[in-house]
Amino acid sequence: MRKNRRFTFALLPVMLLLGLSAVLAFGGVTDAAASPLEDYRQQQKELQEQMDSIQSDIKEQNALIGNYQDEIASLDAQLVLVQQEINALRNSIAETNAQIDVANQQIADAEARLAERQATLESRLVDIYMYGDISIVDVVFEAATFNDFVVLYDMVERLMAQDEQILEDIRQQKEIIEENRQLLVERKADLNQLMREEQTQAASLQSLQDQKYAAMDEANMTVEQLKAAYDEADAASEQVAAEIRKLLAASPSTVSFGGAFIWPLPSAYGPSHVTSEYGTRLHPILQVYKTHAGIDIGAPNGTQIYAAADGKVLYVGWISGYGQTVMIDHGNSVTTLYGHMSAYGGFSAGQTVSAGDVIGYVGSTGQSTGNHLHFEVRVNGNHTNPWNYLN
């Protein structure tokens, strides 16, 4: 992002200045031997190179934005999972708290029973202390018969043993409940620790997501600034193109347009192979609606490209966006443009060509998403619908 910021705030003013002052800066001829037409063509080439660079930067920024969107979506999914874990831990803690409350109540009940049984035993011990030990003789004298003696003695023994057993049972139950309660308390502590860790992870993920959103916002802002720079350079390029048209008008063509063009590719790649029509479309790089100045005809790399009519080669070279390009002047202010070539034919600027001559080969140079010919028709420099001229 630091690199992009340097472009935005350092290169952008230079771009805008070049775009706005292109015509003024090169308005005069500094070299007496230089051709004004060539001067303006050089200006246009430089502006188009700048526009090409801007489009590359926009493509890079859009790729970054796409990456940020993917990363944010991934962080969203992770946050959902972590929040689910936190909710599950909260439920487990609430359930453990309820179990601890039950254990506390059970311990309280056991302590109450133990205290009650302890009081009963202590009462008996007081009676024994006050009235002396219950001995065999006491039981004998109390019994009316031998059977009564046996029953009374057995009852006393059982009663004492039962009291002791009940006390022991209650103590054991209390110990077991206390052990379980302690395990629950430890489990609750573990759950709380896990929840703190999950909350820390969630906070970290949220912070990272906020950073990604900020970076994506910055990239979007950079794209908008790049688009503004592109528009400025595009406007300056059009001003230079206007100057070129003036110079061409001042030097009338020696050829005369016949009124119609042949198809610029072999018949195997006819009108059914048109992949993009003339007119307004969503620009694949800028992602804004722009006028598509020609038609795109799909064909394999290396397919021959024909001159659409007799004429004079006006330009052979690289043009931003178009890649390797040939332009032909057909007279009557009508020109054709052939873009994205993989290689040129055997003609150079200034030479005459006949309809059907091979002027180049299909490719994917410049701002292109695949092998095809970009074909334009221009009248006095202004693009027009090629279908109005094609046979």
| CB neighbour list of residue 329: distance below 8 Å, 6 or more residues apart | 248, 253, 255, 311, 312, 313, 314, 335
Q: Tell me what percent of the residues of the chain surpass a pLDDT of 90.
A: 17
The CATH code belonging to domain 1-251 is: 1.10.287
The model's pLDDT over 56-109, given as tens digits with 9 standing for 90+, comes to 787 888 888 888 888 888 888 888 888 888 888 888 888 888 888 887 888 788
DSSP H or E segment with residue 325: strand 323-329
Are 352 and 307 a contacting pair, CB within 8 Å?
no
| CA separation, residue 319 to residues 83, 307, 365 (Å) | 54, 18, 10
Of 165 and 251, the one with more pLDDT = 165
pLDDT band at residue 229 under the 50/70/90 scheme: low
The model's pLDDT over 281-334, given as tens digits with 9 standing for 90+, comes to 665 555 566 667 889 999 999 999 999 999 988 888 887 678 898 989 898 888
Tell whether the model's pLDDT for residue 14 goes beyond 50: no
The CATH code belonging to domain 254-391 is: 2.70.70.10
User: Structural domain boundaries of the chain?
Assistant: 1-251, 254-391
Using CA atoms in the order 232, 236, 239, 243, what is the torsion angle rounded to 10 degrees?
-170
Quote the DSSP letter at residue 85.
H
**Residue 318 phi/psi, 5° resolution?**
-90, 130
| CA separation, residue 152 to residues 122, 132, 145, 158, 159 (Å) | 21, 17, 11, 10, 11
d(CA 150, CA 384): 129
3-state secondary structure of 335: strand
- For residue 35, what are its two tokens? 């051709």
Of 185 and 243, the one with more pLDDT = 185
Are 290 and 280 a contacting pair, CB within 8 Å?
yes
List b or e across 284-320, with b for residues whose CB sees 16 or more CB atoms inside 10 angstroms. ebbeeeeebbbbbbbbeeebbbbbbbbbbbbbbeebb
pLDDT of residue 298: 94
Are 321 and 302 a contacting pair, CB within 8 Å?
no
Which range has the top average pLDDT, 48-57, 313-322, 336-345? 336-345
pLDDT of residue 74: 87
Strand-pair partners of 297: 274, 373
The HSE-up count of residue 357 (CA atoms within 13 Å, CB side) is 19
Helix axes 36-131, 146-250, angle to 10 degrees: 170
Angle among Cα 183, 185, 188 to the nearest 5 degrees reads: 110
pLDDT of residue 304: 97
Are 51 and 1 a contacting pair, CB within 8 Å?
no
- For residue 291, what are its two tokens? 């006028």
Considering Cα of 264, then 267, then 269, then 271, what sign does the dihedral take? positive
| CA separation, residue 369 to residues 231, 364, 373 (Å) | 22, 7, 11
d(CA 143, CA 194): 70
pLDDT of residue 247: 55
